[in-house]
């Protein structure tokens, strides 16, 4: 029986594991490699690491870090942060990552996704779409850690990314990031129903009920989250955690 993957999406800043709210107010929550060890014990389906400062600092996510994760992780993992060239992808994959997450470069040059998929296969390429609603334009795609707006809608961008060969699409609400108040299921469903590649929900999960909603109401193929996997509860005491397999049967 099909069960959607449940994926801790972990943010990196200055080598540490952080958590944000609305892509701001970054709080240090621990050592990322220690988190990998815990997720190994908890048998997480998959992990994703995003270096949130890499693009703005004009650098690539640390290859030493990717190698360290590759040596520790007992599950597939993807990484993103500063990926701009085919050589960047090549070195990240060589360092041990199964997939790369492309965000800002896909927004700047959508043809990069096509070239990357052709060179490395669609299964290697994940496009992350960060979305925020403006007062007059509605929902639009933002990039460079939510500092650069575009005039493209998330639906348009998702369809273009899928056509260009993206193997998966992450759809993330900037506004709901870190709030633990639930996913934007309308946004997720609008994308999931319009493309034929897997869609990963991200942004706002705070409970098991939210995971259920993203899957059943949002039609997501996989469920990404940060806060619920690094905090004990809504009081935000730090505790790396992951649901037991029997707790995932509801999906």
Q: What CA–CA distance (Å, rounded) separates 226 from 232? A: 12
Is 184 noted as a catalytic residue in this protein? no
Tell me which of 45, 51, 88, 130 is the catalytic residue. Answer: 130
Domain extents for the chain?
Answer: 5-248
Give yes or no for a contact between 122 and 155, defined as CB atoms under 8 angstroms apart: no
Regions of the chain short of the pLDDT cut 50: none
Q: What CA–CA distance (Å, rounded) separates 109 from 127? A: 12
**pLDDT tens digits along 98-131:** 999 999 999 999 999 999 999 999 999 999 999 9
Task: Specify the pLDDT at position 250.
Answer: 67
Task: Specify the pLDDT at position 113.
Answer: 98
Task: Specify the pLDDT at position 104.
Answer: 96
CATH 1.20.120.160 is held by the domain 5-248? no
User: Residue 14's CB: how many other CB atoms inside 10 A?
Assistant: 10
pTM above threshold 0.85: yes
């Amino acid at each position: 029986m099909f069960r959607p993957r449940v994926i801790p999406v972990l943010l990196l800043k200055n080598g540490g594991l952080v958590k944000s709210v609305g892509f701001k107010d970054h709080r240090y929550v621990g050592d990322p490699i220690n988190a990998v060890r815990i997720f190994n014990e908890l048998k997480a389906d998959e992990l994703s690491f995003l270096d949130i400062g890499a693009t703005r600092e004009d650098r690539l996510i640390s290859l030493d870090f990717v190698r360290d994760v590759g040596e520790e992780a007992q599950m597939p993992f993807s990484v993103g942060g500063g990926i701009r060239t085919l050589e960047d992808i090549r070195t990240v994959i060589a360092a041990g990552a199964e997939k790369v997450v492309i965000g800002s470069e896909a927004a700047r040059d959508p043809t990069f996704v096509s070239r990357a998929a052709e060179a490395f296969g669609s299964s290697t390429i994940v496009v992350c779409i960060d979305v925020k609603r403006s007062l007059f334009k509605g929902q639009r795609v933002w990039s460079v850690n939510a500092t650069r707006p575009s005039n493209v809608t998330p639906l348009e961008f998702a369809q273009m990314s899928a056509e260009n060969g993206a193997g998966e699409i992450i759809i993330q609400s900037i506004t709901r990031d870190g709030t633990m108040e639930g996913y934007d299921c309308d946004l997720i469903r609008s994308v999931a129903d319009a493309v034929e590649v897997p869609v990963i929900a991200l942004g706002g999960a705070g409970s098991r009920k939210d995971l259920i909603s993203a899957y059943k109401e949002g039609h997501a193929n996989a469920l990404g989250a940060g806060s619920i996997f690094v905090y004990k509860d809504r009081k935000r005491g730090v505790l790396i955690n992951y649901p037991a397999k029997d707790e995932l049967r509801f999906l």
